[in-house]
C-alpha cells in the first residue's frame, strides 16, 4: 500500500511539473480593422492596434488581464498551440492576432457537436530570432446566425474587455522561416500542418517567387488525389508533413518558397526565404616563403574566387614573423596602404572574383617579415588568412650561392664519369681471364 501511495505522489508531482512548464497565457497585439468608404468613394482600411491576451484554459476562466481583449483558447480541440512552440520561452515569442474574413462564405466546420456558425481569427506566433513561425486558426462558434456578411466589410464590434472563447481549428508551422545555403547543396524547407478533424478536403501547394515571378512547384488535393510537381513525400504528407526538398541549389534558387494550406473556408501560407551564400576560395600567387635579392621586386597577388553575394573585403597586413605567434605584448599587424584592387569578375556560375595585389620591393630591413592576406565575407564566421615570409639576400650572396652550386654539380658529374670508367675497366679485365 505504501509503494502505491509513493507512486501516486510521484505521478502527481510529475504532473505538477508538466503543468508548471506549460504556458498559460501570452501577451499579444490584436490588429483590428476599421473598413470605411472615404470621401472619394474608395474603400480604406484603418488598422487599430489593441492590447490582447492569448489565454489557455477552460470555459468560464477569469481573464489574466481584465483590461485587455482576451482570446480564451479552451481544450475543446485536439490541437494545442503550445505544443508547436515547445521549448521556446514566452519572452522569445511575438504574438499577433487578427480577424479572418471568409469573404461572405458560410461553411459548417466538420467537427462533431460543433455549433452551426463560426467567427474566425488567426494567431501568428514568431520566434524573435527567426527560428520558427506558427499560424493557428481560432474558431469562435455560435448557434446564432451572424448579422450581415462574414467579411471585412461587416465586422462585429469587439469590446475592450471582451472575452472571446475559442478553440484551435488548424495549425501550420515552419521551423525554417529563413534559410542560408551554399551552392550545389540539397536543402529542405520545413512545413507541417494539423487539423482538429480527420479526413479533411485539404489542398497543399508550394510556390517559388523571385523578382515578381511566381511559379508552382507542387500541388496535392486530398479529395481528388491529384498531384502536380514533386519535392514532397506523399507518405509524409499524409501525416501532416509537407516539407519540400530542393535537390540542388543554384544561384537561381535564391528567393521565397511559399507553403500554402487550404481547407475551405480557411487558407494560410508561410514564406520561407532562401539566401545563397558561397564562401570565397583564397589563394596567393607565391609560396609560403618568398626569397628576393635586395632591391628586387615582386608582384604579390591575393585572389578571392567564386564567392556570393558581391560584398567582400581583402586586406594585406605585415608583421614581424618572430612576434606573430605571441599572445601578449606583440605589436598589432600593420595594414599595407599600397594595395590595389582589380575590378569584380562576374563568373559563369553568377559568383564573383576579386584580386588585391601590391608590388613588394625587397629591403634587407624587411627580411623575416610576414605578409598576410585577410579575406572577409558574409558567408564566413572568421576571415580566411593566407601568409608568406619574406627573405631578403644581399646582392653578393646570390652569386656566391650560384658559384657553390656550379662547383657541386661539376664535382658530381666528374665523380659519375670516374665511377663509370672504373666499372668499364673492371668488366674488361674480367673478360680477358682464361678461366
CA end-to-end span of the chain: 113
Q: Left (φ > 0), alpha (ψ -120 to 50) or beta: where does 231 sit?
A: left
Report which of residues 143 and 356 the model is more confident about.
356
CA 186 to the chain's CA centroid: 13
pLDDT at residue 204 in the model: 98
Residue-wise pLDDT for 118-176, tens only, equals 889 999 999 999 999 999 999 998 777 665 555 666 788 899 999 999 999 999 999 99
Burial status of residue 207 (CB atoms within 10 A of its CB: 0-12, 13-18, 19 or more) = middle
pLDDT at residue 6 in the model: 40
Lowest mean pLDDT among 275-284, 302-311, 327-336: 327-336
> Is the pLDDT at 205 greater than 70, yes or no?
yes
Judge if pTM exceeds 0.85: no
Dist. CA 35–CA 38, nearest whole Å: 10
Q: What percent of the chain has pLDDT over 70?
A: 86
Residue-wise pLDDT for 19-48, tens only, equals 334 789 999 999 998 888 888 888 888 999
pLDDT at residue 111 in the model: 81
Report which of residues 329 and 18 the model is more confident about.
329
pLDDT at residue 27 in the model: 96
pLDDT at residue 435 in the model: 43
155 secondary structure, DSSP code: P
> Is the pLDDT at 241 greater than 80, yes or no?
yes
Report which of residues 407 and 113 the model is more confident about.
407
Structural domains of the chain, ranges and CATH numbers in brackets: 21-170 (2.60.40), 176-276 (2.60.40.10), 281-395 (2.60.40.10)
Dist. CA 287–CA 386, nearest whole Å: 10
What's the whole-number mean pLDDT along residues 273-282?
A: 97
Q: Which helix (H) or strand (E) holds 420?
A: helix 395-432
Q: Which helix (H) or strand (E) holds 431?
A: helix 395-432
DSSP string across 344-399? PEE-TTS-EEEEEEEEEEP-GGGTTEEEEEEEEETT-SS-EEEEEEEEEE-HHHHH
Dist. CA 259–CA 219, nearest whole Å: 10
Cβ atoms within 10 Å of 298's Cβ, excluding its own = 16
What's the whole-number mean pLDDT along residues 6-21?
A: 38
Cβ atoms within 10 Å of 377's Cβ, excluding its own = 21
What's the whole-number mean pLDDT along residues 1-24?
A: 45
| Helix, strand, coil percentages, rounded to 5, for the chain | 20, 45, 35
Amino acid at each position: 500500500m505504501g509503494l502505491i501511495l509513493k507512486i501516486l505522489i510521484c505521478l502527481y508531482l510529475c504532473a505538477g511539473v508538466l503543468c508548471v512548464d506549460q504556458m498559460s497565457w501570452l501577451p499579444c497585439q490584436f490588429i483590428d480593422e476599421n473598413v470605411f468608404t472615404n470621401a472619394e468613394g474608395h474603400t480604406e482600411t484603418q488598422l487599430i492596434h489593441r492590447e490582447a491576451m492569448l489565454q489557455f484554459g477552460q470555459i468560464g476562466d477569469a481573464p489574466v488581464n481584465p483590461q485587455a481583449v482576451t482570446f480564451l483558447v479552451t481544450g475543446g480541440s485536439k490541437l494545442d498551440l503550445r505544443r508547436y512552440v515547445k521549448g521556446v520561452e514566452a519572452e522569445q515569442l511575438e504574438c499577433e492576432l487578427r480577424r479572418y474574413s471568409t469573404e461572405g462564405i458560410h461553411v459548417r466546420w466538420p467537427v462533431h457537436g460543433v455549433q452551426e456558425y463560426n467567427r474566425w481569427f488567426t494567431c501568428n506566433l514568431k520566434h524573435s530570432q527567426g527560428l520558427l513561425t506558427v499560424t493557428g486558426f481560432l474558431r469562435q462558434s455560435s448557434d446564432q446566425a451572424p448579422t450581415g456578411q462574414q467579411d471585412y466589410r461587416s465586422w462585429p464590434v469587439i469590446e475592450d474587455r471582451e472575452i472571446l472563447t475559442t478553440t484551435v481549428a488548424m495549425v501550420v508551422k515552419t521551423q525554417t522561416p529563413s534559410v542560408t545555403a551554399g551552392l550545389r547543396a540539397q536543402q529542405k524547407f520545413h512545413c507541417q500542418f494539423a487539423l482538429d478533424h480527420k479526413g479533411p478536403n485539404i489542398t497543399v501547394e508550394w510556390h517559388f517567387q523571385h523578382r515578381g515571378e511566381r511559379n508552382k512547384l507542387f500541388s496535392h488535393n486530398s479529395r481528388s488525389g491529384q498531384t502536380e510537381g514533386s519535392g514532397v513525400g506523399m507518405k509524409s504528407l499524409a501525416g501532416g508533413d509537407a516539407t519540400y526538398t530542393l535537390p540542388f541549389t543554384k544561384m537561381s534558387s535564391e528567393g521565397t518558397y511559399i507553403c500554402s494550406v487550404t481547407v475551405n473556408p480557411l487558407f494560410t501560407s508561410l514564406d520561407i526565404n532562401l539566401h545563397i551564400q558561397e564562401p570565397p576560395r583564397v589563394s596567393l600567387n607565391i609560396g609560403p616563403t618568398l626569397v628576393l635579392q635586395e632591391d628586387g621586386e615582386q608582384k604579390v597577388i591575393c585572389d578571392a574566387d567564386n564567392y556570393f553575394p558581391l560584398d567582400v573585403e581583402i586586406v594585406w597586413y605585415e608583421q614581424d614573423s618572430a612576434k606573430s605567434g605571441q599572445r601578449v605584448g606583440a605589436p598589432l599587424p600593420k595594414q599595407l596602404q599600397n594595395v590595389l584592387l582589380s575590378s569584380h569578375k562576374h563568373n559563369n556560375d553568377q559568383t564573383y572574383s576579386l584580386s588585391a595585389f601590391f608590388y613588394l620591393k625587397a629591403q634587407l630591413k624587411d627580411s623575416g617579415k610576414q605578409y598576410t592576406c585577410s579575406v572577409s565575407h558574409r558567408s564566413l564566421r572568421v576571415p580566411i588568412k593566407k601568409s608568406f615570409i619574406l627573405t631578403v639576400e644581399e646582392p653578393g650572396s646570390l652569386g656566391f650561392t650560384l658559384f657553390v652550386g656550379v662547383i657541386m654539380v661539376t664535382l658530381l658529374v666528374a665523380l659519375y664519369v670516374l665511377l663509370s670508367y672504373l666499372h668499364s675497366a673492371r668488366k674488361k679485365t674480367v673478360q680477358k681471364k682464361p678461366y
